[in-house]
Amino acid sequence: MAITVVSPVRISATMDFLKKALGCSDAEVGIAVSKLPQILGYSEVKLSRSLEFLKAEVGLQPQYFVHRPALLSYSFRKRLMPLHEERFQII
């Protein structure tokens, strides 16, 4: 298990970003963070790229990420894009 140290400023900035990007309350973002604490160490670039793709291309609602934040931990190019492309090849 890895331990990551994230500054209080970074935690606050990430929480604010998630609230704005997901349109969620503090409590809802807290649910996501409790399920995936390492999300607080992710860059806004990584989070925004994944969120935009999953909302625009895949059609997921922002509320979906509150209960399934693990999707935001996946690599955009190595995991999310290939899974989405594979899904449409099957259909």
Asked if 81 and 56 count as a contact pair (C-beta separation under 8 A), the reply is: no
Average pLDDT of 20-34? 94
**For 38-81, what is each residue's pLDDT tens digit?**
999 999 999 999 999 888 888 889 889 999 999 998 887 777 77
The range of the structural domain enclosing residue 32 comes to 8-90
Q: Please indicate, yes or no, if residue 3 is contained in any of the structural domains.
A: no
> Is residue 27 one of the residues assigned to a domain?
yes
Q: What is the CA radius of gyration of the chain?
A: 14
Q: Please list the helix, strand and coil fractions of the chain in percent, rounded to the nearest 5, in that order.
A: 75, 0, 25
Whether residue 78 is contained in a domain is answered as yes
pTM for this predicted structure: 0.78
